[in-house]
Chain A
Amino acid sequence: MTTAIPNSYRTGPDETGHFGIFGGRFVAETLMPLILDLQKAYEDAKADPAFRKEMDGYLKAYVGRPSPLYLAERLTEHLGGAKIYLKREELNHTGSHKVNNVLGQIMVARRMGKKRIIAETGAGQHGVATATLCARFGLECIVYMGAVDVERQQPNVIRMEMLGAKVVPVQVGARTLKDAMNEAMRDWVTNVHNTFYCIGTVAGPHPYPMMVRDFQSIIGDETKVQMQEIEGRLPDSLIACIGGGSNAMGLFHPFLDDTSVDIYGVEAAGHGLTGLHAASIAGGRPGVLHGNRTYLLMDEDGQIQEGHSISAGLDYPGIGPEHSWLHSIGRVKYLSATDEEALAAFQLLSKLEGIIPALEPAHALAKVSELAPKLPKDHLMVVNLSGRGDKDVPQVGDILKGRQS
């Protein structure tokens, strides 16, 4: 491979879409011609200054970027160690980082002349972002969502429908995100001629993991500039939650070659790593699913197991292939937080900072509570606050009410 920077962590994937042994294009033949078209369309878009300019315009005026980098003073004081900054992705239009990627993909879809957009969603954040941009650009939108998630994420289902999207509850399997992704792929295989599949995370067949990462890298790029402005130097550590891992990859990627920066990804440990969980790296092994090779939860026969997390956005049994590679080479440390730890962090941030986080980044905040007190006061730590907690308010409210009675 030709690369300008030797020993860079940022040059992947290779031309066949692999990060080491991870990634690739493991899909049915019907989809391969479209995936090759998409790869070309994305490469053309990347090379076109007009595409970047148009996207920057929407990012600023429609999404509301740059998102602030906020010093969480009371949380810092409470934990008594590292100085904690929150990257405020929850302030984006639609309430999470998902919109960065969806905007990019919808603009690629428009270049390809696709008028029908499909997506899968767990917590509904990706579905809401997709429904929003389809409304903005006048495109048909179908969102596959596990029937269980439709139940537990009602506010987002209502939002998607208000935006004109059709939400299809998936009744097979455990009726969560993995099953929604299978159904989306079935739709795609069936309607390949006119349909664009807008994948919500850094997973799936090449070029998706790369493309989604590129669109999300704005998080880390901004963080670099903002930290220079505020502190005059790079942060010392970064931390983000991982389901598929797109918010984490977006924050991490611009810093991968800055080896002074410690990087932590936090998986969902659910009821604990010996019970039901969704920690693919801590509790899984490499396998092939949904178009890529990556760490997966599975049994000894290679049958995929369901993930569990209090957060519908994290209960996917896999992880983006670039994360698998970063784990295998040791550049990023992958930790995990349980449902209970995430709930505690959810309440802590709400009460100390007046910011109700989504349950997903609450997992990252849980590990901040553990790591920060052990670090010196001049240690700069950035947490990606990937989404706001509006969607989780009914669910967390019910849990807390149940405990009081």
Chain B
Amino acid sequence: MTTRIDTRFAELKAEGRSAFVTFVMAGDPDLATALEIVKALPKAGADIIELGMPFTDPMADGPSIQAAGLRALQAGMTLRKTLQLVRDFRKTDDKTPIVLMGYYNPIYIYGVDKFLPDAKEAGVDGLIIVDLPPEEDNELCIPAMKAGLNFIRLATPTTDDKRLPAVLANTSGFVYYVSVTGITGAAAADASVVGTAVARIKRHTKLPVCVGFGIRTPEAAKAIASHANGAVVGTALIDALKGSLDADGKATAKTVSAVADLTAALAAGVRGAKQAAE
């Protein structure tokens, strides 16, 4: 089965470049603005969109993404509305892969049996669920694969060679390498260290490896993209969004362009890098 994610990486390979993966929070700062932002991302150069599912207790996220989730929840965001956002996006874009990223509890409460077909129908391509390690694969990973959704696993600096095969076993779409031990928005890892880590993962899998956590500038994005099949940026985009809000935390005329402009700059950085050798 070929998914939008597989197709996108095949296209990028043909172009000889790495992917630029953006992360934004569904419903931040409100549903309508978030839809406009998501629509603007591919036009600004995003190859894959990770869409955060807001959660009250994002234990692995830093203050920026945590605050983005709380803004979205305060504006009334729910998992159901997140799926609707994807559905609305698909009316104008049937190519850009969308990966939902978040924590398990809202999906568990929605009901896995109901969530997977609803997500597939809405146009979701993959899932990244931070608090579902391979030890809990029966919860969602295996049912998601059966439903035709990629389950993208995080690998980290603490995932050693002995553990990597377990982490990669049921992973599909791509592997998300977390370049630092820590929360989102933390300091960036050295690009050459990341290169070594990516090479190590690639000895265990043919899947593309994208790298995230701590990438904020076009230069950093370029450096990471030259060592990996993709660079993921989240916190910097969310900080740009936050900087455009008014004193009450509401969207302004600048909000969509603040995110789109930074996306364009970062995408240019990624496009300036040669893709890492397979």
Contact = CB atoms under 8 A, between A and B. Distances in A.
B158 A30 contact: yes
Q: Taking each of A33, A173, A189, A290, which has the highest tally of chain B beta carbons within 10 Å of its own beta carbon?
A: A189
Interface string A29-65: 1111110000000000000000000000000000000
A350 interface: no
Nearest to B73: A303
A289 interface: yes
Contacts of A190: 181-183, 186
Give the bracket for the number of chain A residues in contact with chain B. Answer: 35 or more
B188 interface: no
Interface stretch (B38-46, B99-107, B141-149, B263-271): B99-107
B193 to A, nearest CB: 15
A193 interface: yes
A37 to B, nearest CB: 10
A192 B54 CA distance: 25
B20 interface: no
Interface in A265-303: 287-291, 293, 296, 298, 300-303
A293 B110 CA distance: 15
Interface in B160-182: 160, 163, 167, 178, 181-182
Contacts of B134: 32
Interface string B180-217: 01110010000000000000000000000000000000
Contacts of A302: 55, 79, 105-110
Nearest to B133: A32
A32 B155 CA distance: 11
A16 interface: yes
Contacts of B130: 28
A109 to B, nearest CB: 18
Nearest to B78: A301
B57 A186 contact: no
B144 to A, nearest CB: 16
A189 B154 CA distance: 13
Nearest to A33: B158
A24 interface: yes
Contact of A304 (B56, B79, B136): B56
B156 interface: yes
Interface string A296-326: 1010111110000000000000000000000
A25 interface: yes
Given A178-B57, A192-B181, A298-B109, A29 B104 contact: no
Interface string B116-151: 000000000000001111111000000000000000
B10 interface: no
A26 interface: yes
B132 A26 contact: yes
Contacts, number: 117
Contact of B108 (A25, A185, A287, A291): A287
Contacts of A33: 158-160, 163
Given A25-B133, A25-B135, A288-B105, A30 B79 contact: no
Contacts of B108: 287-288, 293, 302
A27 B181 contact: no
B194 to A, nearest CB: 15
B226 interface: no
Given A33-B159, A287-B105, A301-B78, A172 B66 contact: yes
A75 B108 CA distance: 46
A379 to B, nearest CB: 41
Contact of A26 (B58, B136, B159, B178): B136
B75 interface: no
A33 B167 CA distance: 11
Interface in B65-82: 66, 73, 78-80
A29 B133 contact: yes
A154 interface: no
Interface of B: 54-60, 62-63, 66, 73, 78-80, 103-110, 130-136, 153-160, 163, 167, 178, 181-183, 186
The list of the 8 closest CB pairs from A to B, nearest first, reads A302-B109, A302-B106, A190-B182, A30-B156, A185-B59, A26-B131, A28-B60, A301-B78
Given A31-B158, A189-B181, 7 more contacts: A24-B136, A25-B135, A32-B135, A287-B105, A289-B57, A301-B78, A304-B56
Interface of A: 16, 24-34, 172-173, 178, 182, 185-186, 189-193, 287-291, 293, 296, 298, 300-304
7 contacts: A27-B133, A28-B130, A29-B133, A32-B134, A173-B56, A186-B60, A287-B105
